Structures are given as structure tokens and as C-alpha cells.
A and B are shown apart, each in its own frame.
Chain A
Amino acid sequence: MKKLLQSAFFTEIIKALKLVFSHYFVKEVTLQYPHEKNTLPDTHRGALCLLRYESGEERCVGCDLCNAACPSYCITVVSAVEEKDHIQRRYATSFDIDMTKCVFCGFCVEACPVNALGMTKMYEYSTSNKRELDFNKANLYEIGETWYGQAKGYLIAHNQEGEDETVSEYRYRFPSSRKEEEVEV
């Protein structure tokens, strides 16, 4: 009897319409990407980048610890010695990250002893040429310069770095090299 009445008055349809029309008054969820974009948290793990100190000096010392920490073997570092102002420094002659292999775990950033690596919120680097996804040193510094604030935010959010003054704590001081002319016995 109840069933018959329900079908006679189309209660199901009214219920359904009620639900549909009620959604006219709900705040929308779908974002119209690429016209609209989501706000990402500081801890978002997007494209990797390399950072410089305020002075413009490269932070990376080419220690290869990021490679050692990388679970997907996507980082290659080649290091060499460079002499400037009687100080022999270690630096990376080449630094490559194969983004096709990267799993965005963030271990490399955690492993970096000088906070040279950072993660940005940048994720729009799709390309039709796979080779472009092999980021080299120049690419990585470019990303680092463009998205410096985000990378810095990531490091701060992960308690790896505080504001600017704490950066110098992690900076290596290479000893000055003693040359022939400065012999002191």
C-alpha cells in the first residue's frame, strides 16, 4: 500500500530533484584547472631545485650524499676542486636529476648537508620531449632562482633551515691553502 502511494506521488523523483537543486547552493569543489589553481602547502614536494647563498655563491659542494640517499637512483653528481682566493673548494661540475625517475620522496633534500637542494611547488613541466626532463645543473639553478621563496619555505617547513641567519651554520668553511709564498715555519 505504502509502495503504491509512493509510486503514485513520484516521491523518489521529488527526493532526487531536491538533492540536485540543493547543490545549487553548495560551494563548488572542482577547480577549473588551468584557469584556477589549488593552493599548495609549504611542504609540497614539487620540482627539485638548487639554491644559492645570498651572495650568489652556489651552496652545493658536490658531496654526492643526495645520490647516496636517492631510492630511485636519479641523481648524478660529478665534483671537482676549484681554487678561489687561496681556498680550495669542492663544487659540483655537473649535477643531473632525471625527473622521469624521481619519486618525489624528498630524501635528497633531507640528506643535503648544506641545504642546497629544495623542493618547489612547481609541477608544470610536462613536455613532449622526454629528454627535457633530465634536469641539469643550469636548469636546477634556474628553478631555484625562480621559485626561491617556495624552496626556502619547504626547508623552513621541514625544520631544515630557519630564517636567513641560520643558513650560515650549515655553510662549510674550507681551510685556506698554504702556498709557497706564505711559508711560515
Chain B
Amino acid sequence: MSSVGKQSAAPDAVKNMVEITIDGKVVTAEEGSSLFNAVKWTGVELPAMCYHYSFSPFGSCGLCLVEVEGKKNNVRACTAKVVEGMVVSTGTEKMVEARKGAVEKHLTTHPLDCPVCDKDGQCELQDMAYDLEVYDIKDPKRKDIPEDTRSIVLDFNMERCILCCFYKKDKQKHVGAHGGETLYCEFCGDCLAVCPVGAIVSKFSKYTFKPWQLKKTETTCGFCSDGCTITLETNDRDIQVVTSELSYTSKFGYEVDPGEGHGGICVRGRFGFEYVMSSDRLSKPLAKGENGFQPIAWFSSLMEIGKRLNDIKSTYGPQSIAGLISGRCTNESVYLFQRLMRSVLNTNNIDTAARYGHMNSVHVLQKTLKIGKATVTAEQLALSDAILMVGSNLTETNPITALRPKASMTEFGGQLFVADTTKTKILNLATHPLHIALDSEADFIQALVKAVINKEAADPDFIETYPEAYAALKASVGPLSETALSEKTGLEWEKIEETAETLAKSKRGILLWGEGIIAKPDAVDHILRLIDLALLCGLLRKKGGGILPICEENNEQGAVDMGGVPEFLPGQLDYNSPSERDRFSNIWHTTLPTPGTDAPGLTLPEMIEAAHRGEIKALYLVGENPLGTLPASMKVREALEKVDLIICQDPFLTETGQMADYVLPSAVFAENEGTYTNTLGQVNRVVEAFDPRGEARPDWKVFTDLSKHLGHPMQYRSVEEIHNEIAKMIPGYYQSEAATPKPDAYLESEFIGHIAGRYTPSESRTPSETTRLSLEPVLYHSGKLTTRDQGLMKIYNKAVLLISEPDADALGGLITGDPVHIKSDLGQLETTVEISPDLPKGLVQFPLHFNDPPMKDLLKTEIDSRTKVITFKTGPVTLMRPASLDLRVVSKETTPETHENQEADAQGKEEKPS
């Protein structure tokens, strides 16, 4: 598409402004830009259907007609370019008649089934027919095109289609997948949002609503760490549709720079809403009795819990109580939970889901730069001229954030370097794909640092300010061999040098890392080196540049910021600092446990170890499911069995919930109020769309009620009051103030001492012959939560092992759909394979969302001694060809003359259903 209508590209581009006359008014507009925009800015609303702010105009609807002096024919404003001295008139009678004619033309072939159409009431064609008073349609025609209902998510009703997205010369008259096949795409559903009529409808809400029945609530999505603003359209307590800014921003009065993002959402956000209405949701508190779980009243459950917690506290001491909170709870809930644990129960044993990876980033950032979050905004990501992504499958984990680097390439001519061991989608799209060898992240980052120094491309400011640090770094990378590094990473040295140099010389370079770094062993070392690279390239100093650590869950960042970890008080203040502790103990009118040998503040892995030793007597789990998340090798079940009292607060009855003594139903994101902090550190508002289902309660309410039974009531009447306290205690938090990195202290002291050992050729952790299993996130799911969602499970339910072609060949030519035995030291499983051309030899992947088969149990856990992060998403396995498969092959080839193996035949049929 041409870039006529879009606001001009790179931030440093020069705009040439010219004067034109519109309806007698002289206005200035950018030369060569769309006339439609110029007219729009004068306040005149031109009708248009095919125009949309998020894409370039192509003039197919023929509604935005204007008269231009000197032109005989009517001019389509959207495709016309602004030229110096143009004289334009928009509202003449001739134009109104012409527009009326255009609408009539569209309506003659439109089926006029408005009353049953899902777009009725928000249809642009309908609005225009009313506005222009088109009531009589002469000889209407039916197109008689069958409705395409083959896709699992979208239905295409081509009778209603006004073909707005086609040029006249286009022969194809259908919207849908190429070649008339069944549509299977990412299902972001943005086509639903931009369709001006009801030609594309969602199967999930087809014929079930009318816009006037729905209440709109603008809230924040509760799946990934993008924190997209979504609009829940609800009818009573049912979510009917999820829309976003893209659906509602008036395209006539609004315009976005591509850097701002078009406001679309992804498949999870748009179609993953059915779990909210799921019948599996817990509706009443449950207490475990002799006959299993029995429903119990809220008051009695909280009273009993309060009594038992008090007993445990007085008998075994507060250190025998521990709490875990999920990264999906709101900031306010996490804040209240840590207050409950620290000020009411007097224990610092509290942890969040960030312990599965994101704490690595936070620890290193705090240590080196004295910040605890990303330093860039989404706009800066889009406007960046060089982005380096290491170990992040961004299009799958954070699909909307991933649009920004894409925009930086396509709109602003930025360069995108993606380093990954797999050929991910973003790697294939990147201007500079860097497909590195397995386990060579360490070498790759070291190579980059070396290349920057070799090329003398380091930030002059860095060299000048910290000459000693630079010298130490230079000395440290000195002995590294370029050939060895390039051999290990599988990249040519020139490529590495190019990457390093571009990043170092960029004006607004950004360094981004994700789950491929943080959730894998040695993450701390990787991140330390990445920070070295960022400092060396001066990314943190450059305006618009910076670093971006990606986390997984929607509020992982917020959970850490709110002090949901033993290391930090709210605001990521050091828990060991007595003065900071005093600040909080004063406002909470209590004393906080003093860190020390008797109150160390246990992290998640330490809690499990302590539980094994029988030291944990009570465990309070809020939305966390360690049994379902952690591999069997952690022996979580055995640990939990030794805990006297387990309280599980969750919307669903999880595996851990089955073991609990009390199960409390909690609200999900649509029923909650508060805020989420996304991976960029932005705080987004969560608004309650309807009351919780059944007797479920929001988390903060449960905490305040429970505190009354514990003898230390936390007096909060609403989320607003918690909100105000946070705003008071952490100034600037809700304003999402940008983090200012302060590397001085680190670079001048610790850095020089540590740097010597940081740059050493890495030793391979696993022999290269071994196959590695890696649990990877997929686009259609977020954690284990979405496996409860019927809609998303309908879209993606493939618990299959992705395997590379060479590996499949090595197993005797496996094909997609074949079974395979996968074995590790910890056990053996059978699963189905799918051949993926994107994987390198020696790597197999399994979606981490599915526990059937329990692939995670094959993996060993590793606990980082510095950050206590548990890594368990990768490990060595052996693949074996199942014997039944060979029998099947034999049975296929057997001719009638040879002996027929009936058993094998039967097995073959079982294994491979057609």
C-alpha cells in the first residue's frame, strides 16, 4: 500500500507545508498528504466507508467526493494528494447528490437484513443512509452468495460485504482466506473491528446481541504483560463481545501516528472471555471435611481460617506461615496481601509468579541501574531506529507490543535485529534475522560486547565518564576469540559486528530480552552482559533508547513493584533497610518482621524446601497453582502434604486447590477494580464490568475481611482507599513515571571487580547430541488460565511436540501426527509430534500451557542461588520411536500374500486416526 494518507514517517523527516483553500478557508497542509485529512482538520466531516485511520486510503467506496477547481470530475478526497493552491469545496449540492448516489449504489446490492445483522446500530452504511436520507432503493438485487462459516472463529457473509477493501480492478470478490480455503490465521479479530458493515462476524457472539443491549466497560486485558486497553461489552453478567479502541475511535475525527499503535488487540484479548462465564468457576467457599469439599458460608470460612492462622502463629511462630500471590492480581490486591502477610501475620514469607523468571531481570536491574522496570515506552519502541531482541518470541508472548518493532521497520525504516535459536515469526520478519545456535545466548551477547569494543563504536560518553569500567570491560573481553564465538553462535563475525555497530551508533537504540533469557538457566549472567552491552552502546543515555525486559503475566511487574516478594517493600524499596520499613510500619501501626536468621523472608523455592522440612504450617495461595506449574521433580505435592493449613483463593478449583483445606472463590479481571502494571511499567486501570459470579469476592475484600478475624483489621472500605495509600507511599507510581537509570555506583565499584570473570567462553551445559525439550508459550494461550477458556481451546488445543525435520528423520521419518516416546531421567511419556521447519536440530518444543501429557514433569528444576528464580522450562530428553509405529508401517506395506498382522493393523488405526 502506498503511504499517501499516513502521517509522514520517521520523527526526523521534514514536512513541506503548503496552503490550500477548503470551502473558502485557507488552510495549511502537508504537501502530498491525503486531501481527506486536510478536509477533516477544517472540521468538515466527509462521509467515507473505506477510509480508516489505521491504513492507507485506496478510494473504493466513492463517498468522500469533493469538488476541486480545475477538475471536471468529482474527486475522491482520500486518494487525492494535497497540491499547492488547491481550491476545494465540499458541501455543494452536486456533491451531496453524488454521495447520495454512491450510497444508493451500495444499497442496491446490500441485503438489507439489518434487523438480524450483528452490526445493526453501529453500521456505517446504515448511518450514511440515514444521514443522506436515502430511503428509496430502486430495483434491489441479491448477490446470493452462501455464507462462509467454515472457519472456527469468523463467519463471512459476502452478501453484506460492500467490498470496501478492493480496488475496482480486483477480480476477487470475496473476503476470506487465500484461494477460498478455510481461514486459519492468528485470529486477532481486528478485521471485525474495521469492517464498516456486518460482513465479518464473530462466531462466538453471532446473532446474540444488539449494541443497545450492551454496557461498555473500558478496562485492561488480563492475559499477557502488554496491558492492552480493551472494552468489555456486557449484557447482565455475560461478556458478549470484546472490542478495543480500533472499533470505536471515530475515524473521522481521529488520526494516529503509527508510533501510537492503532489500538487493535490480539486473539486472547478478543476471544478469550468465555472463562469468565465458565460453569467451572467456584461459586461458594469450600472447606475440606471428611467427605471432601463442603460449601461453607464466607463468614464461617474466614472465621475458621482466622482462628487456625492465629493458632499456628502462636504455636509455631509467624515464620511457619507463607503466602504466594499470582501475577494476575491487581496492584491493590498484591499491596494488601503483602500488608496482610507482613503487618498482620508478621511474616515476610511472601512471593509471586515473578519468581519463575522476571525476578532475574528485576534483581539485575536493581543491582546495576537502580531501577526495576523497562526504560522505554511503546511509542519509543515504534520510533526506534535499531532494536535488538534477544531470546524473545515477542509475536507469541506479547503480540501487541510486537506491533511496535514491526511498525519501526515498516513505517520508520528502523532496523530490527532478532537473535533466537528458533526461527520465530518475528525473526523471519526482522530486517536482520540472527539465527543463533542452541545454547549460544551467552556467546552471542559476549560476541556483541566484544564487537562493539573491537569496532571502537562504544558510546564516547561512557568511555569518558567511566574510563576505568571501560578499561576493565575491554580487558575482560580481550581474550575472547572471535572465530570461536562466531563458530559457537553459528553466525558470521561480520553479522555480529554489523549488529553491534548499528546498535552502538543508533540514535534511539533499544535492547529487549524475553523468556528465552529470563526463564532459562544462567539468566543472571546473560542479563548482566546485556546491561553491559546497553551501557556500552549508551542506550540508557540516548533519548528514546533504552532497555525492555519482557515478563509473562499481566501484572508480574506490578506484583514486584507492590512488594509481593520478600526482597522488596512496595515501590521496590529494599526490605532490609530499617528506615524504609519504619515508613511502612508507621502507616500500618505495627512492626514489620526484622530480616535476619529467624525471619529470612522465604522465596518460592525456599518455601517448598521449608515445607519439605515441615517448617511451613500454613500456606496462603492467591491465584497461584504451584502443583500445576512446577515439575514433579520439585516434589510440590509431598511438600504440600506436610502443610497443616492450605488456603487457596482462586476463581477455579486448581490442582493445588484440590489439596487445600479451604478454597475461596475469587473474582476475575472483569469483576475486579484496580490497576495492572504492564511490562513497560505503565499502570493501566482495571474497571469492574459486573459483580462477581456466584459468591466470589474480589481479592482485596477477602484480605480486609480476613484481617478482622486475625485481630488486626485493615481498614479499607474500597479499592480507592488502597489506591490512595499506594499513591502516598510510592509517589509517582500511578503516573507511570519513567525510570532513570543510575549506573554510577555500580560501574565505579562492583563492576570492575566482577567483570573479569564475566566474559569467559561458555561451556556447553548439555552435550550437543542430546535433544533439548523446551516449554514455549503459544499465541493463543496465556499461562494455564486460558486452558479454562472454551473459546481459546476451540481455536488452539494442540498439545503436540514440535520437532525439527532432521530430528524426525533421525527417528525413522516421523510425520506430523505420529506418536513418539519422550524420555528423560525423570520419566517417560507418549505424545504426538508435529514437524516444524522453524526448529533447529536437537530442539523440541511443547506448549507450556498444557499439562496433558505432563511434559513439565520430565524436566529438572534449577534454582539460581542469587535470585532464587526457579528455571524448569528446558532440559535434556531422549526421543524414541514407539514400537507400534514400526508395526503400522509393516502392516501398510504387507501385500495380501504375506502374513497379515492383525494386531499391528488395529494398533496402527488407533495411533493414526484419519
* Chain A contacts to B: CB under 8 angstroms: 61-65, 67-68, 78-81, 88-90, 113-114, 172-180, 182-185
Contacts and interface: CB of A to CB of B under 8 A. Distances in A.
B152 to A, nearest CB: 11
The 10 closest A-B pairs by CB, nearest first: A63-B115, A90-B207, A177-B149, A81-B207, A178-B146, A175-B147, A90-B116, A113-B115, A64-B210, A185-B180
A81 B120 CA distance: 16
Given A79-B207, A88-B149, A183-B180, A61 B212 contact: no
Given A64-B212, A88-B207, 18 more contacts: A62-B207, A63-B115, A63-B210, A81-B208, A88-B147, A88-B149, A88-B155, A172-B115, A173-B142, A175-B146, A177-B148, A178-B148, A179-B149, A182-B146, A183-B150, A183-B180, A183-B181, A185-B179
Contact of A180 (B179, B182, B206): B182
B702 to A, nearest CB: 33
Contacts of B111: 175
Q: Which of A61, A81, A172 has the most CB of B within 10 A?
A: A81
Nearest to B236: A78
Interface string B179-218: 1111000000000000000000000001111101100000
Given A79-B207, A80-B207, A81-B207, A178 B149 contact: yes
A177 B120 contact: no
B115 A80 contact: no
Nearest to B143: A175
Interface string B126-168: 0000000000000000101111111000010101000000000
Contact of A114 (B115, B155, B180): B115
Q: Which of B147, B159, B179, B212 has the most CB of A within 10 A?
A: B147
A107 to B, nearest CB: 15
B145 A175 contact: yes
Contacts of A80: 207-208
B113 interface: yes
Given A61-B116, A64-B213, A88-B149, A175 B157 contact: yes
Contacts of B182: 180
Contacts of B157: 175
Nearest to A62: B207
Nearest to B149: A177
A51 B718 CA distance: 50
A174 B208 contact: no
A177 B150 CA distance: 8
A184 B180 contact: yes
Contacts of A79: 207-209
A63 B113 CA distance: 10
B115 A175 contact: no
Interface SS of B by simple majority: loop
Interface string B571-584: 00000000000000
Contacts of B208: 78-81
Nearest to A83: B149
A79 to B, nearest CB: 6
A172 B120 CA distance: 15
B790 to A, nearest CB: 16
A172 B149 contact: no
B146 A176 contact: yes
Interface of B: 111, 113-116, 120, 142, 144-150, 155, 157, 159, 179-182, 206-210, 212-213
A177 B206 CA distance: 13
Contacts of A113: 114-115
B210 A88 contact: no
Contacts of B115: 61, 63, 65, 113-114, 172
Contacts of A184: 180
A144 B61 CA distance: 45
A78 B904 CA distance: 53
B113 A176 contact: no
B150 A180 contact: yes
Nearest to B212: A68
Nearest to A112: B115
Nearest to B182: A180
A79 B148 CA distance: 21
Nearest to B157: A175
A185 B179 CA distance: 7
Given A79-B207, A184-B180, A177 B146 contact: yes
A114 B145 CA distance: 22
Given A79-B208, A81-B206, A176 B147 contact: yes
A172 B146 CA distance: 14
A33 B150 CA distance: 61
A176 B159 CA distance: 11
Contacts of B146: 175-178, 182
18 contacts: A63-B116, A63-B120, A64-B210, A79-B207, A80-B208, A81-B208, A88-B155, A88-B207, A175-B144, A175-B147, A177-B147, A177-B149, A177-B155, A178-B147, A178-B148, A178-B149, A179-B150, A185-B179
Nearest to B115: A63
Contacts of B207: 62, 79-81, 88-90
Nearest to A178: B146
Contacts of B209: 79
Nearest to A185: B180
Nearest to B113: A172
A172 B147 CA distance: 14
Nearest to A114: B115
Contact of A175 (B120, B159, B206, B210): B159
Nearest to A179: B150
Contacts of A178: 146-150
Contacts of A62: 116, 207
B545 to A, nearest CB: 50
A78 B144 CA distance: 28
Nearest to B206: A81
A176 B111 CA distance: 14
A37 B880 CA distance: 89
A175 B157 CA distance: 8
A88 to B, nearest CB: 6
A175 to B, nearest CB: 4
A67 B627 CA distance: 50
A61 B120 CA distance: 13
B514 to A, nearest CB: 38
A182 to B, nearest CB: 8
A61 B157 CA distance: 17
Contacts of A175: 111, 144-147, 157, 159
Given A62-B207, A68-B212, A172 B116 contact: yes
B171 to A, nearest CB: 14
A78 B147 CA distance: 23
Contacts of B145: 175
A63 B149 CA distance: 21
B207 to A, nearest CB: 4
B206 to A, nearest CB: 5
A67 B149 CA distance: 29
Nearest to B213: A64
A113 to B, nearest CB: 4
A64 B180 CA distance: 34
A64 B240 CA distance: 15
A79 B213 CA distance: 11
Contacts of B149: 88, 177-179
A182 B114 CA distance: 27
Contacts of B142: 173
B115 to A, nearest CB: 4
Contacts of B147: 88, 174-178
A113 B111 CA distance: 14
A77 B543 CA distance: 56
Contacts of B150: 178-180, 183
A11 to B, nearest CB: 70
A63 B117 CA distance: 8
B184 to A, nearest CB: 12
A126 B704 CA distance: 51
A106 to B, nearest CB: 18
A171 B147 CA distance: 18
Contacts of A68: 210, 212
